[in-house]
Amino acid sequence: MKLTIKNATVIIILICSSNLFSQEIKGSQPSKLIEPVLFADLGEKRQRISGMALDKKVNLYLEISKKVSLGGMEFGPDGNIYLMDNQFFTRNENFSRLIRIIVQNGKPIEAEVLVEGFNCGEAIRWSENRIYVTDAIFENRVESGIYSFSLDELNKKDIVLNRSNKKFYLTSVFTLEP
């Protein structure tokens, strides 16, 4: 008799708790202050945008290039724009690179290669005076990772990543699941 009561109690609790998850939540009406606007029509040939960046004046910059395979871009704390040139799909091992475009008065002045030797460089992100760069596929094809460089290190330029020095810049390593 006691066993039957315990089972009945469990069933009631399960039914009550499942009702909690089926409650309908009503939100507020969408704002009518901001109307969605098409920013740009990229046409049918353009399938995706790899990189976008906002400057301090909230101008939006988009990739338009035939020379680099952009993995990501972002303005740094120095006001210049940083690009990850992903060369992995050109079958060039360890040829992806970090490029800085010097910007003065909102205009690009020159481009300079800061770091070479990423295998499949992708996203970049600044946090204070450090840039973080993802390398999606290491040479062994089972790991990926995140590298970090200070603005001072980048200003010295000519960093070439190789097997002996990659570990000094590597902050995280991830194993890829098949």
φ, ψ of residue 114 in degrees (nearest 5):
-100, -45
Q: Is 135 in contact with 119 (CB distance < 8 Å)?
A: yes
Q: What is the count of structural domains for the chain?
A: 1
Q: For residue 17, is it within any domain? A: no
**Alpha helix (H) residue ranges in 54-170:** 151-155, 166-169
Q: For residue 14, is it within any domain? A: no
pLDDT the model gives residue 145: 87
Q: pLDDT class for 159, splitting at 50, 70, 90? A: very high
pLDDT digits (tens, 9 = 90+) for 80-137: 989 888 765 656 666 678 999 998 887 889 999 999 988 877 788 899 999 998 887 7
CA 58 → CA 52, 83, 92, 165, distances in Å? Answer: 12, 18, 35, 37
Residue-number span of the structural domain to which 59 is assigned: 52-175
Q: For residue 97, is it within any domain? A: yes
DSSP secondary structure letter of residue 144: E
Q: For residue 154, is it within any domain? A: yes
Averaged pLDDT of the chain: 72
Q: Is the pLDDT of residue 9 over 60?
A: no
Q: For residue 19, is it within any domain? A: no
**How far apart (Å, rounded) are the C-alpha atoms in residues 135 and 161?**
12
Q: For residue 43, is it within any domain? A: no
pLDDT the model gives residue 1: 43
pLDDT the model gives residue 119: 81
Q: For residue 26, is it within any domain? A: no
Q: For residue 73, is it within any domain? A: yes
Tokens of residue 41, six digits:
């029509």
**How far apart (Å, rounded) are the C-alpha atoms in residues 96 and 86?**
5
CA 160 to chain centre: 22
